[in-house]
Amino acid sequence: MLRHLALIMDGNGRWAKQRLKPRIFGHKEGAKKLREITEFCAKSGIQYLSLYAFSTENWKRPKAEVEYLMNLLGEYLIREKTTYLRSNIIFKSIGDISALSEELQQKIQSLEAQTQEQCNGMTQILALNYGAKDELRRAFVRLMEGGIAPNEPNQLSEQDISCALDTSKIPEVDMLVRTGGEMRLSNFLLWQSAYAELFFTQTLWPSFSVEELEAMMVEFHQRERRFGGL
C-alpha cells in the first residue's frame, strides 16, 4: 500500500541552463510543477507527500539564489493557500525553520494552523532547512531534555527515536522518487526511508510529469516488499 510518497525535486537549475535561462527561472517553473504533482497525489489516495524543498546544505549556494528561493517560498505559501483549502490538503513543515526569517516562519505556521483546522485530506510535508542528520541530532536533544533513559541508554527504543523526529506520528516512507539523474538520498528522510522503494529518473524536476509518476506507482505495486523477511 502506498501511503507515504517522498520526492527529491532535483534539476531546476540544469533545466533552466538547457534553455539558456538563469537558475532562478528553473526554480520558478519547479514551483509550478510542485502544485501539479501535489494535486495529483491528493486525488490519487496518497496520504502523505514529503517534498525536499530546501536542505541544510543549500545555504552554501550563492547568496542571490538563496534570497530568491526564500522569496519564492514566501510567495508560494500565500499563493497556494487556496489550492490547499480547495483540495483539502493539510500543510506541514519539517526541518529547523528557526533559521528562516520571522516573516517566513509566521507564514509557515499560519498555513499549518489554517489547513490543520479546515482540511482532513492528504498531508503535504515540506522539508525546509532540513537535513536527516540534523533531524536526528535534534531528536536526541529532545530525548535528553525529556529525560528518556538518560542514564540507561539501552532502554532507548526505535519507537522513542521515531517519536522524537520531525515526522512523529507520520508513517515511514513507502516510495521515494528522485528526479534529475542523481542516484543518492542527499540526507533526506534517512531514518524514515529504511524500507522505502527507491525510484530514480533522468527527468529534470520541471519536466517531470504525472504520467511518469503514475508509471512508477504501477511498478511500486508490482514490487514485493519483504521488509527483511522471506
Query: The domain spanning residue 19 has which CATH number?
Result: 3.40.1180.10
197 - beta bridge partners?
A: 175
What's the pLDDT band for 155 if we cut at 50, 70, 90? confident
Structural domain including 209 reads 4-130+170-222
Average pLDDT of the residues in 73-81: 95
Active site residue 160: no
What is the spatial distance between Cα 45 and Cα 48, in angstroms, rounded to a whole number? 9
In a domain, 184, yes or no: yes
93 - beta bridge partners?
A: 126
What's the pLDDT band for 156 if we cut at 50, 70, 90? confident
Average pLDDT of the residues in 98-122: 97
pLDDT of residue 150: 63
pLDDT of residue 225: 81
Catalytic residue among 58, 96, 160, 187: 58
CA 165 to chain centre: 14
Average pLDDT of the residues in 82-96: 97
Task: Give Cβ neighbours of residue 184 (< 8 Å, ≥ 6 apart).
Answer: 178
What's the pLDDT band for 149 if we cut at 50, 70, 90? low
58 and 14 Cβ atoms separated by less than 8 Å: no
Average pLDDT of the residues in 30-39: 96
What is the spatial distance between Cα 115 and Cα 51, in angstroms, rounded to a whole number? 17
Active site residue 10: yes
Average pLDDT of the residues in 200-207: 99
The whole-model pTM stands at: 0.95
Number of structural domains the chain divides into: 1
In a domain, 51, yes or no: yes
126 - beta bridge partners?
A: 51, 93
Place of cell 498555513: 111
124 - beta bridge partners?
A: 49, 91
Q: What is the mean pLDDT of the chain?
A: 95
pLDDT of residue 229: 67
> What is the DSSP secondary-structure string of 61-86?
S-HHHHHHHHHHHHHHHHHTHHHHHH
Give just the sign of the alpha carbon dihedral 20, 10, 181, 37.
Answer: negative
Average pLDDT of the residues in 121-148: 94
Catalytic residue among 10, 12, 129, 174: 10
In a domain, 180, yes or no: yes
pLDDT of residue 145: 87
